[in-house]
Structures are given as structure tokens and as C-alpha cells.
Structure 1
Amino acid sequence: MDAVDSALMAARAQFAITISFHIVLAALTIGLANFLMALEALWLWRGRQIFLDVYRYWLKVFALTVAVGTASGLILEYQFGLNWSRLSTQAGDILGPLMFYEVLAAFFLEAGFLGIMLFGLKKVGPRIHFFATCAVAAGSLISAFWILSANSWMQTPAGYTIGIDGRFLAEDWWAIIFNPSFPYRLVHMTLATFLGTATLVAGVSAWQLLKEPRNPRARLQYSMALWALVVLAPLQIVAGHLHGRHSLEVQPQKIAAVEASWTRPAEGEGEPLRLFAIPDMVERRNHWEVAIPRLGSLYLRHDLSGTIAALDEFPPQDIPPVPVVFFAFRVMVGLGLLMLGQGIAGLVVRWRQRLTAARWLLRWSVLMAPAGLLAMLSGWMVTEVGRQPFTVYGLLRTADSLSSVSRQQVVGSTWVILGFYLVIFGVGLWVLLRILRDPPHKDEPGPQPTLADETGDS
């Protein structure tokens, strides 16, 4: 491996580390903001203090994720200038405005109204406070909108021209923003953030119920999380399938890597579903393959004899790292099916009126607490690693996007980042565990107005 390849791998590893930390916090910010919006809406609608108690409990967790997420996001932004300046130079005319709009949403809506969420309930009244909660929830989704638009454009570029200096220039902003893969990624990622939050809330609530089975607030949040799972998991499976079908058309080598399909089957045999294999990039074949004949064709082509483009049909230098994509996809799908099973199990025990009495489901929910976030990370790995060796798919290679940096410089900055993350995330995790170790109780700390305070009826 020469010096350029070594620096490239170090820079990619650094970005993978930072994005993995940040995306978890960003997902929780989106999911918890909308969970809080639902809780406050229920409080305003039904007037029950229990909803406000649960709201104030998770508001502390939300504030923590915003604080730590902001710190991790700043480091992520700096890397575009430090390690990927050529990408910024070549595609900055398109990516720059999209990232700017994301910052506007994050700071003007999320940060602007966060203070009212945290401290303004007694001062501004319940309904204006609810407006602030809605603004923060909307800001988190708008922020995701612009980030995913930028990322999707890099996956399926559209609406651009290339100047004489090789730079990407904006020609049609509607085509850039709503590029071909954007609708699929927006729906798929939004559902992933909600599912990641739901499994975390369900796991935390289950842990609390194992210690305090009669706590009504833990019961409420556990019930809401399982309802979210049973509704959202099937929707995510459908969205993921449609996303995969679209990727098959626009990024065929990514799907070939997902399936570890090195050669096309003979005519009429169909594509197998490979449950397990060890893809070999050198020999360009699979070891220890366990597959179900024809089943792959059913979900890929809706036809038992259909096939897809195989990896041997593409130039070797354009093939992504097959083992990473292959296994990450199966982790994502496996965890998704487990979340669907968790939601269905919750529906069954709810029908039997044993939702909080079924200790086996409580223990399962505790184990599944990180499942949604792990599935999201695995899906992101499929998306980003499957795009390699390109940053702008088919047009700009990752190797040509790298700054003029050495491996030593990248490794040195990586250790600095890891040290910073160790402190920030270590303190954040310690505070988070202290918050979550006990369930919410009546009259959580903070101002506790009644709905009548706003009208003067009290």
C-alpha cells in the first residue's frame, strides 16, 4: 500500500468514527423531539399530569443529546476542510448551500426554541410552549432533510453541469435537492430514527419496570414505545424494500455487493438468497455459502427466475468492499425483523392484558434497547461503503477527494478526536445513565403549571 492509499484509508477511518458517533446522537435528537411533541400534545389534549411527568423526564435526555451531538457535529464539519478539501473544492458550489440550509434549520429552529422547551413552560404558558416543542421537532426534521439531500445528491447526482476546471456547478436546484434517491433515503432514515428511539425508550422502560413494576409513568412510556414499533417496523420494511429496488436501478454494483453475487446464475435458475457467506475479494467468489435457491429473485425482481447484474460485470476498481456491505446489510435486516417481532409480541401480550406483567418481554426489550440504533448504523454502512470507490457516485473518486495530507497527520488528528470524544461521550454517558437508572416519578423537577394557568381558571 503506497502513501496515498495509506492516507486515504486513515481519512476514511477517521470519518467513519466521527460519523458513527454523531449519527446516533442526531437520530436520538430527531426521535426524542418528536416523542416529546407527542407527549405534550397528549397532555394538552387529555390534561393528565402523567404525560407532563414523562415529558419532563425525557426532556433532560433530549437536552443531553443535543449538547453532546453539537460537539460531535462540529468536528465532523471540520473534516471537510481538513481531510476532504478537494471534495469541497470540486462539489462545494452544490454541497455548500445545502449544508448552509441545514445549519440555519438547526440553529434558528432547534437551538432557538430549545431554551423555551427547557425553561419556559411556566413563563410562556402551555400552548406557546407546545409551539416551541413543535418548532424544535420540525427543525430536527428539516435539518435531516438538508443533510439527506446533500448525501443523496452524492449518491445520485442530478441538476449539475461540470465546468472547464472540473467543478460541479448548479444548474437546476429542484433537481439537485429532489435528486432520484432522496425521497427513498428521507423516508427510510426518518423511520430509522423513530425506530431507534422507540427501542431505546422501550428498553429503558422495561428495565425500570423490572425494578418498579407498578410505576405508571414507566408503563406509559413502555406502552407508547411498543405501539411505535408495531406501527413503524412494517413501514420500514416496505420503505427499505422500495429503496433497495431503486438502488438496483441506479447503483447496481452496490446491490451486487449486498447479495455477494459474483456471477449471474444460468438462465432460468434465478438469484439465490444468501443467508451466509464469506466473500473473497481476491478470488472473487464466496466461501461457506448457505443460500436458498431463487428466493433472492423474488424480492429483487418479483420473479423467481429474474437476475441482477453481477460483480464480474463491473471493472474491478469500481467494486465496493463486498464483505463489509454484505454483512452490514444482514445485520440491518436481522435487527429489523427482531424489532418487528418485538412489536408483534407487544401486541399479543397487550391483547392478553399482560403488557407489563410479561417479564420475558421486558427482558427482551432490555436486550433490544440498542437494536434500532445498531440497525441504523448498519444501514448507513451499507449506503456509504456500498458507494465506494466514489464520493460523487460515478463522477468523483474518493481518492481524488482527499486533501494533501499524510497518514501521520490523519492518524495524529484521529487520536486527538478520540481523546475529545472519550471525554465528551464519557461524561455524557455517565450523566445519561444517572438519569435513566430511575423511572420518572410524579412531579418531575421543574415548573409544573396546570392547563388552567394559561386561562386564569385556577
Structure 2
Amino acid sequence: MSELAVDLARIQFAFTVSFHIIFPAFSIGLASYITVLEALHLKTRQHQYLELSKYWTKIFAVTFGMGVVSGIVMSYQFGTNWGVFSDKTGPVLGPLMGYEVLTAFFLEAGFLGIMLFGRERVGEKLHFLAVAVVAFGTLLSATWILSVNSWMQTPAGFSYNEEGQFIVTDWFEVVFNPSFLYRLVHMVIAAYLTTAFMVAGVGAWHLLRAPHNELARISLSMGMWMALLVTPIQIVAGDMHGLNTLEHQPMKVAAMEGHFETQKGAPLILFGMPNEETETVDYKVAIPYLGSIILTHSIDGEIKGLDSVPPEDRPPVAIVFWSFRIMVAIGFLMLAIGLTSLWLRHKKTLYETPWFLKICTWCAPCGFVAILAGWVTTEVGRQPYTVYGHLRTVDSVSPIDAAAVGTSLAVFVVVYFAIFGAGIYYILKLMRKSPTKYEQDLDSRVVTRLSHGNAGHDVDDATPSKGES
């Protein structure tokens, strides 16, 4: 295997997984959000929540479909480009991925039809149950996939057979490996924040065009409450995840922080240009001792540097260094926007402040950027291993040449941008439609029924709650 073939195989997998991860992340948050809307409708009987649920369900359906398709395509690469990895880790990872299909995916698929098409057929409560089951399925799917990926980061509960394959000695240790719970919490919260900012951004975009759009106000308000309350939790969860990474993958943390030398009282490097040739960070802006305080909770705590391992065992520093900073910067941007929303809500100008609405609109996709930056940090920081400390990336690749991988990569780029580009365009087109349209259609149906003398009859979900008429 040439070095070029390995790099192309890595680029291809990174490309496909980057397209894939944004759809499940949005699906996880959106399914839970729709569940909340359905519950609020059942509790308050306010039709606004029902109409918002219908609005976002259409977007969820397209997102879910693209997530499934992109996931299937991505999984084929395990057999084409990463055959050795599949052979060696199959006894461990194969059952876990099978459990994801047998439990989470079948659960989602089994109730998705009721969620999308059964509202008028099964009744409100059963429809709410179907939506809740689909939301639970998305979380269960994330749980299995994060268990798989976390085992590759912090492998446990295994030994080797005569063929050199990983075999399970303790399934509990495999599933609940040392980094699993930290990564699961961090990822699920990231999915919720991503959805919150998309919901708020769509609401803000429509409020800039129709300031009295009630459904857009509800979207902005709910999204900003989520941002305000959950972003601090995510920052704490990220810190705990970082401490866990320091314990089990110290070289990843060294690359994230830009520490080439092992030192006590390490500074926190805010910015700089990592130089792997001179093993320094050029033009750095740093705060003395703060790195050790954050990572060891001690002013003179020792932080292992990249010099503690040979150069061939180090991850690419510049990529990990900058992707980590992008993720952290977006996290604090989310916190600032959440706090600003609280201040404007206190002043009773949350829905009438154009500059804030424009910020929310422009920052709607920032959660996706943070997720991609976080996954780059995680996966590139694991290098040069596929199974950290046990199986190198160069030893995981199928026996294929660079030309074959390069050709398939070119095809993937063209097809993905065409198909998923069209899907993303369609999602944005759905978001451009004002949710008020659904409310207006609802009101017109009520008026039509009443004008035909059906005031005393059931008007299905179109009946306004008491006091709204």
C-alpha cells in the first residue's frame, strides 16, 4: 500500500462521514423538538404547537431519509477501503452495529410511517406516542454508534485470537468503554444545540419579514431558551470529556493545546501557528499557567507534550489545533447569543430587535460547523491509529491502489454534491416557507366549516382552543 492510497482512503471516509453526520445530528434534535411540540399541544390545546409540529415534521422526514442513505453508502467503505480493519475488529464492532440496526433503526422505521402519515388515522395520543418512539430511536441509534466509535478511541474488554482479530472478553466493558458516556452526552447535547439554533434561526428569518408572525416567535423563543439553558451544560460536559481524553489519549490533548514539550505549569495557548518541523507554536498568544489549571486543576500540574512519543506516533497537530478552537469558539458564541436573548427578553424586545434577529439567522448553521470541527478533532487526533494504541491506520487499509481510491473519491464528490446538495436545497426551501401559512390554512378551514353550519360538529385538529376564537 502506498502512502497516497492510505491518504486518499482517509479523505474519502472523512468526506462521506462529514456529509453523513450533519443529518443524524439534526434528526436527533428535531425528533425530540417535535415530541415537545406534540406534548405541548396535547397539554394546552393551542393549535400553534400542532402547526409547528407539522411544519418541522416535513423537514425531519427529508433529513431522516438523507441520513439513512448517506449512512448506508458510508458503511460500504468498510469492505472496499478498510477490509483489514473490518476483519480484525469485526468480532467486536460487527455485533454492536448489528444491535443498532435491530433495535434503533427498526424502531425508528417501524413508527416513522405513523409519525408522517398517521396523524388523522390513529388519534392524537397514539400519534404522540409514535413521535416519542421515533425520538427515542434516534437517541438509541446514537448510543450504539457512539459506543462503536468510543471503543475505537478507548478500547477495552477485548483480547486477540490466533488470527490477530480483536475478540470480546467482556461486553459490558466494550459497550461502556472509558470514554463512552462522556462522548455520548457531549454529542447528544451538540445535536440539541444544533437543532435549537436552526429552529431559532428559521424563526428569526421569518420575523425579519413578518414581525408579528406568531409561529416564528414561538420558534425563536424556544430555540433561545434551549441555547441559554443547555450551552453552559455543554461547556461543562466538554470540559469533563477533555479531562477523560487527557487520561486516555494524552497525545490528542497535546495536539489540541499545541504542547510540543512536556511541562509543568503549562500555558493556555489561545492562538498561534503550530510548526511541526521546529516543534514550536509560532506567533502564539498564551495565558501563563491556565492550561495546567484547566487540565489538571493545579497551577503547576504536568501536561504531557508531543515530545513524549516518537514523531510517527503523533497526530497531525495543525488540523487538530485549529478544529478544536473552531469548536470551542462556536460554543462560547452560542453562550453569548443565549445570554443576549435573555437580556432582550427582559427588555421585551426579543422579537423586535433587527440586529439580533440577523445574528440568529446567520448563526443558524453554526451548530453543524461545531459538530464537524469536533469530529475532525476527535478522528484526526486519534491518528495514527484506527483502534487507539492497538491498530494503526496504515495497517487497516484494503490492498487497493491509489488510482482506484482516487477514482471512487472523485465519483463520491460529484454524486454527493449533486444528490445531497439537492436535498439540502429542498430542506432550505421548506424552511423558507413561513409557518404562518399553516396557521392561515387552519383558520380558513375553521371558517369554512362554520360557514357551512358545522359549528356544533367536530372539526378535527382545526378546532381552536377555548379563548382563541
Please, what TM-score do these two structures have when normalized by structure 2?
0.93
- Compared CA separation, residues 451 and 96, structure 1 to 2 (3 A): farther
Contact 1:126–1:451 (CA under 8 A) maintained in structure 2 = no
- Establish whether residue 196 from structure 1 lines up as the match of residue 176 from structure 2: no
The corresponding residue for 1:160 is 158
Which one-letter code corresponds to 1:229 in the other structure?
A: A
* SS of 2:383 mapped into structure 1: coil
Matching residue within 313, 322, 329 for 1:318 = 313
The answer to which of 50-59 and 412-421 deviates more is 412-421
CA distance in 1, matches of 2:208, 2:198: 15
Residue 409 of structure 2 corresponds to 414
Distance 1:451 1:87 in 2: 55
SS of 1:290's equivalent in the other structure is: strand
Q: State the SS of the aligned residue for 2:302.
A: coil
The aligned residue for residue 203 of structure 2 is 205
- d(CA) in 2 for partners of 1:449 and 1:323? 59
Contact 1:149/1:178 (8 A) holds in 2: yes
Q: Give me the whole-angstrom Cα distance separating, in 1, the residues matched to 2:180 and 2:373.
A: 19
**Residue aligning to 1:450:** 461
* Aligned-pair CA distance for 1:430: 2.3
The CA RMSD measured in Å over matched residues stands at 1.6
1:87 is the counterpart of 2:108: no
Residue 451 of structure 1, CA deviation:
9.4
Amino acid at match of 2:324: F
> What is the rounded CA distance, in whole Å, between the counterparts of 1:290 and 1:333 in structure 2?
16
One-letter identity of the residue aligned with 2:216: A
Match of 2:380 among 385, 408, 418: 385
Give the total of aligned pairs.
Answer: 448
Deviation, 1:113, is: 0.9
1:333 is aligned to: 328
What letter corresponds to residue 295 of structure 2 in structure 1?
L
The aligned amino acid for 2:75 is: E
Aligned residue type for 1:4: S
Moved more, 182-191 or 69-78: 69-78
Q: Structure 2 matches for 1:11-410, cutoff 5 A?
A: 11-265=9-263, 270-410=265-405
Checking the alignment, whether the CA contact within 8 Å between 2:23 and 2:67 is kept in structure 1 is yes
In the alignment, the residues of structure 1 paired with residue 420 and residue 175 of structure 2 have an alpha-carbon distance, to the nearest angstrom, of 33
Letter in 2 for 1:203: G
Indicate if the aligned counterparts of 2:99 and 2:144 stay in contact, CA closer than 8 A.
yes
Q: 1:106: Cα distance to partner?
A: 4.1
Q: Is the 8 A contact 2:47 2:462 kept in 1?
A: no
SS of residue matched to 2:281: strand
Displacement after TM superposition at 1:419 (Å): 2.1
Measure the CA separation in 1 of the matches of 2:429 and 2:365. Answer: 18
Secondary structure of the corresponding residue to residue 450 of structure 1 = helix
Query: Are residues 211 and 451 of structure 1, via their aligned partners in 2, closer, same or farther at CA, if it must alter by over 3 Å?
Result: closer
**C-alpha separation in 1, matches of 2:421 and 2:11:** 21
**Shift in alpha-carbon separation, 1:125–1:410, aligned structure 2, 3 A:** same
Aligned partner of residue 9 in structure 1, secondary structure: helix
| Mapped contact 1:47–1:451 kept (Cα < 8 A) | no
The question of whether the paired residues in 2 share the 8 Å contact of 1:53 and 1:442 is answered with: no
Q: State the percentage of identical aligned residues.
A: 48
* 1:437 paired to 2:442: no
* Inter-partner Cα distance in structure 1 for 2:152 and 2:209: 48
Structure 1 residue runs of 5 or longer lacking an equivalent are 454-458
Q: CA deviation at 1:50?
A: 0.2
Cα distance in structure 2, aligned partners of 1:24 and 1:408: 29
Q: Is this contact kept in 1: 2:156–2:174, CA < 8 A?
A: yes
Give a deviation string over 1:37-93, Cα, whole Å, max 9, x none: 010010001110000010000011100101111111111110110100101100000
Within 1, Cα distance between the matches of 2:419 and 2:60?
16
Letter of the aligned partner of 1:274 in structure 2?
A: I
**More moved, 363-372 vs 320-329:** 363-372
Tell me how far apart the structure 1 counterparts of residues 313 and 31 of structure 2 sit (CA, whole Å).
Answer: 40
C-alpha deviation, 1:200, in angstroms: 1.2
In 1, the alpha carbon distance for the partners of 2:424 and 2:14 equals 20
In structure 2, the CA distance between the partners of 1:449 and 1:318, relative to structure 1 (3 Å rule), is: farther
On the 8 A contact 1:105/1:140 being kept in 2, the answer is no
Q: Shift of the alpha carbon at 1:452?
A: 8.7
CA distance in 1, matches of 2:153, 2:296: 22
Distance in 2 separating the partners of 1:232 and 1:23: 21
Deviation at 1:104, TM superposition (A): 2.1
Structure 1 residue 388: deviation in Å? 0.3
In structure 2, the CA distance between the partners of 1:259 and 1:443, relative to structure 1 (3 Å rule), is closer
**Structure 1 residues 431, 12: closer, same or farther in 2, change over 3 A?**
same
Distance in 1 separating the partners of 2:377 and 2:396: 20
The answer for the alignment partner of 1:456 in structure 2 is none
Report the Cα distance in structure 2 between the residues aligned to 1:231 and 1:4, rounded to whole angstroms: 49
| TM-score, normalization by structure 1 | 0.95
Q: For residue 319 of structure 1, what is the amino acid of its counterpart?
A: R
